[in-house]
Amino acid sequence: MIQVEGLSKRYRAAAKQPGLVGTLRHFVQRRTRAVDAVREVSFAIEPG
């Protein structure tokens, strides 16, 4: 049996600002934001 409890996965994504100034600023100073792909997932898989 496979059992998972409280699985979470978070990744970072680019946080761009709108407009030309935001695009230019993104090249110099990249900002990121945290994105939760999965939060507190639990499951069990029985054999077979």
Q: What is the pLDDT of residue 10?
A: 97
**Of 38, 29, 30, 28, which Cα lies nearest the Cα of 13?**
30
Q: What is the pLDDT of residue 43?
A: 97
Q: What is the pLDDT of residue 37?
A: 96
| CA 35/CA 4 separation, integer angstroms | 21
CA angle 30, 21, 33 (to 5 degrees): 30
Name the residue ranges covered by the structural domains of the chain: 2-45
Q: What is the pLDDT of residue 4?
A: 97
Q: Which amino acid is at 46?
A: E
* pLDDT tens digits, one per residue of 1-48: 999 999 999 999 987 777 887 777 777 777 888 999 999 999 999 998
Q: What is the pLDDT of residue 45?
A: 97
22 sits in which H/E element: helix 19-28
Whole-model pTM? 0.56
